[in-house]
Each structure stands twice: as structure tokens, then as C-alpha cells.
């Protein structure tokens, strides 16, 4: 099945209605939700813990939230004055955190869209993430105008209405060397995981700012995305070096490599099934005369253990910038340079298929 365009295990069925778009492959029609909710390219999408909502951000300064069962837009969080680069949602879908090119990080009330608190920084906020218990938020700011790339950890006061937050971080440090591009909490609460412009991945002690461990050669170019397995024992990264890689969180050893022929912008781990989803494509400036097929604007499915590509899903009219998998593993979403958010629901064949015979892999 290696290299197949749209294998049986990857077909998505539904009924056409307003807001739905369709694609054809192998003589069958497949319907999937295509949302035009942003006027500019997507930067990140995230499901909430229950999976009933999908949050999307883009270069048009807006944060949108959608119902995942029908694709309707629930609302918009309006308040940033620049590209919104990043978002994360707590486990209770109570708080949303966002980071923007307007040099701010904002805390929002999910249910009402109210901005509860704003933190201001010297440069843009490139990535934000809640801790596992939602008691803290980590963010990384851009290296620019004489300011180094800086990682800050803030305590989140969950008492009251959420407006009483501390302006000052509890921990703050600037990694030496290549700037950090992505950040998350690692397998222990006081440890911070980073991916860097040079391709390095590292673990830091948030309290001291010391580098606990690093893999200088995790990638050969910019790390563009980092997503952890739910138990935080391993994580996946994507890179401009045209590979996605699985890493052990404690040792930072590269466990598996998924090579492609195009720069990658995002990678995600699928629950329930042993698959990795990756997306990217040639840069927008390089594809004005490039066909959809040549641009490689596809979500590509790889077997997590055997490092074999098992399928591709087409649809976007530009590079895929961000991918997220539903917490249940029953669907996934992608956001592209074309401004579309596309939601794909897996049918029964996806869960029943055995591309490698009776081999069973525990997640």
C-alpha cells in the first residue's frame, strides 16, 4: 500500500450539504467538511479534550471555534491585533490561551469569548501550552530587535472568574544558542521540552533554566511542530528538513523517522491506530505555477512502527500548516495556507484494516 493515493482505509463518507466539499478517488466520492472561516492562512488548530469543539487561529488575527459534528462556527474570540500564532485549551474547556504577533499572550473564557487577562512581551509569542494539570502555561517569544528567544512559565489562577492573574512569570530563561521555535511541558512538571531553529530538541529545568538533556541532531533544519503522546512518554516533531520523527521524551533519542520529499509543517500521533499524520508542502511563494499534485498538499499517513507510508488524503490548495487528531481517534482536522479548515471522519474500514496482516500494535 506504500504510496497509494487514497487507500480504502482512508475513505471518508457523508452526505453533501452547505459547507461541505467533496473529493473523488478510486471511483468513489468522499465528503468532508471544508470550513471557510479565515481570510488568511491557518497557523494552528486544536481540539478540546472532549473533542466536540475545534479551535483555529490564523494570520487574520481571529480565533474561531467550531462544532466538530457539523462544522458550524460557534463563535469568534476577537482581541488580537496581529497574526495569532498559537493556542491551547485546558482540560475542562474553561480557559483558552493564545499567543500573537502583537507581542501579547491572552487568557480567554471559552464559554463567553471574554478576554480575562493579557500579558505583554517585547516580541511575538510563537507557541503556548498548558501544563498537564492546567495549573501553568508555558510560552516562547521570538528572537528579534535585540531580544533573545525567551521561555516563560506562568501560574494560572483558576479561582474566581480568572481575571486575577500574575503579570510576572514564576520561571523565565533564555536558551543559549539556536532559538526555540516550539515548546511544551515534558514528562515531569518542572521540565520544559523545546524544538529549535537548528533542528535541535532539548529538555530544560524550568526552575534553574539549565539544559537537562539535548539532541543537537534531532533534525537538520527548523523544527516546525511538536506534539506529545497523551502519556508524554514520547513525542513527534516535524521539520523543514522534510522529515517527521518520534522521540523518547526522557532520552530524546530518535525512535522512528518518516521521510518525505517536501518541507513539513505539522505532525500528529493518532490514538487507537498505529499511525502518524504529517503535512506540509512547498512554500507558498514556490507554488504559483505548481499543480496540486506536484505541490504535495496532502496529509500523509505513516505506520508508526514499520515506518511505511500507508495512505494520503488530498484536499488543500496550498501547504498544510497544522494537523490535529480528535482525542477519540475517530477523525482529524487540517488547516492550510489556503485558509481552509478541513475535518475528516474515519469510516469503519480505517479501524478494521490490517495493512500488515494480523500484527497488532498497542498505542
CA atoms within 13 A on the CB side of 58: 22
What pTM was estimated for this model as a whole?
A: 0.87
Q: Which residues pair with 222 in a beta bridge?
A: none
Q: Name the residue ranges covered by the structural domains of the chain.
A: 32-351
Percent over 70 (pLDDT), the chain: 84
Q: Which residue has the cell 474547556?
A: 93
Question: For the chain, what is the mean pLDDT?
Answer: 86
Contact 100, 125 (CB under 8 A): yes
For 140-175, give the DSSP string: EE--BTTBPPEEEEEE---STTS----SS-SEEE--
Q: Is 286 helix (H, G, I), strand (E, B) or coil?
A: helix
Between CA 227 and CA 47 the distance in angstroms is 13
Q: Which residue has the cell 493518532?
A: 270
Contact 140, 134 (CB under 8 A): no
Average pLDDT over residues 14-23: 28
Q: Is the per-residue pLDDT at 50 higher than 70?
A: yes
Average pLDDT over residues 18-32: 32
Q: Which residue has the cell 495512505?
A: 311
Q: Catalogue the long-range contacts made by 141-145 (C-beta closer than 8 Å, 24 or more residues apart).
A: 141/103, 142/179, 143/179
**Per residue in 95-135, pLDDT tens?**
999 999 999 999 999 999 999 999 999 999 999 999 999 99
Average pLDDT over residues 296-316: 91
C-alpha distances (whole Å) from 57 to each of 87, 183, 293 are 7, 18, 26
Biggest CA pair distance of the chain = 59
**Per residue in 65-100, pLDDT tens?**
999 988 889 999 999 999 999 999 999 999 999 999
Closest by CA to 38, choosing from 332, 281, 335, 254, is 335
**Homologous superfamily of 32-351 in CATH?**
YVTN repeat-like/Quinoprotein amine dehydrogenase (2.130.10.10)
> With DSSP H G I counted as helix, E B as strand and the rest as coil, what are the percentages for the chain, rounded to 5?
5, 45, 50
Q: Which residue has the cell 490514538?
A: 271
Between CA 8 and CA 46 the distance in angstroms is 27
Q: What are the grid coordinates assigned to 278, written together?
A: 504529517
Q: pLDDT band at 36, cuts 50/70/90?
A: low
Amino acid at each position: 500500500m506504500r504510496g497509494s493515493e487514497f487507500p480504502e482505509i482512508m475513505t471518508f463518507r457523508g452526505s453533501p450539504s452547505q459547507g461541505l466539499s467533496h473529493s473523488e478517488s478510486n471511483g468513489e466520492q468522499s465528503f468532508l467538511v471544508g470550513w471557510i472561516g479565515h481570510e488568511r492562512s491557518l497557523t494552528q488548530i486544536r481540539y478540546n479534550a472532549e473533542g466536540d469543539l475545534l479551535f483555529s487561529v490564523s494570520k487574520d488575527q481571529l480565533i474561531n471555534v467550531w462544532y466538530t459534528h457539523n462544522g458550524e462556527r460557534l463563535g469568534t474570540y476577537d482581541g488580537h491585533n496581529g497574526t495569532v500564532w498559537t493556542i491551547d485549551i485546558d482540560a475542562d474547556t474553561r480557559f483558552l490561551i493564545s499567543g500573537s504577533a502583537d507581542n501579547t499572550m491572552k487568557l480567554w473564557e471559552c464559554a463567553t469569548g471574554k478576554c480575562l487577562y493579557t500579558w505583554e512581551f517585547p516580541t511575538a509569542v510563537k507557541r503556548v501550552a498548558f501544563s498537564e494539570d492546567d495549573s501553568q502555561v508555558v510560552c516562547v517569544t521570538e528572537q528579534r530587535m535585540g531580544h533573545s528567544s525567551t521561555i516563560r512559565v506562568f501560574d494560572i489562577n483558576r479561582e474566581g472568574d480568572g481575571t486575577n492573574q500574575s503579570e510576572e512569570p514564576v520561571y523565565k530563561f533564555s536558551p543559549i544558542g539556536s532559538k526555540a521555535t516550539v515548546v511544551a511541558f515534558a514528562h515531569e512538571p518542572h521540565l520544559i521540552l523545546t524544538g529549535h531553529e537548528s533542528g535541535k530538541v532539548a529538555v530544560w529545568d524550568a526552575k534553574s533554566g539549565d539544559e537537562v538533556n539535548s539532541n543537537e541532531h534531532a533534525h537538520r533544519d527548523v523544527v516546525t511542530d511538536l506534539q506529545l503522546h497523551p502519556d508524554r512518554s514520547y513525542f513527534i516533531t516535524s521539520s523543514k528538513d522534510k522529515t517527521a520523527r518520534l522521540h523518547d521524551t526522557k532520552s530524546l533519542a530518535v525512535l522512528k523517522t518518516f521521510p518525505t520529499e517536501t518541507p513539513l509543517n505539522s505532525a500528529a500521533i493518532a490514538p487507537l491506530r498505529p499511525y502518524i499524520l504529517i503535512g506540509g508542502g512547498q512554500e507558498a511563494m514556490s507554488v504559483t505555477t505548481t499543480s496540486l499534485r506536484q505541490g504535495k498538499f496532502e496529509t500523509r499517513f505513516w505506520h508508526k512502527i514499520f515506518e511505511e507510508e500507508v495512505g494520503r488524503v488530498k484536499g488543500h490548495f496550498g501547504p498544510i500548516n497544522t494537523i490535529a487528531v480528535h482525542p477519540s481517534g475517530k477523525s482529524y482536522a487540517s488547516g492550510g495556507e489556503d485558509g481552509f479548515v478541513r475535518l475528516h471522519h474515519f469510516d469503519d474500514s480505517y479501524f478494521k484494516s490490517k495493512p500488515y496482516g494480523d500484527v497488532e500494535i498497542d498505542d
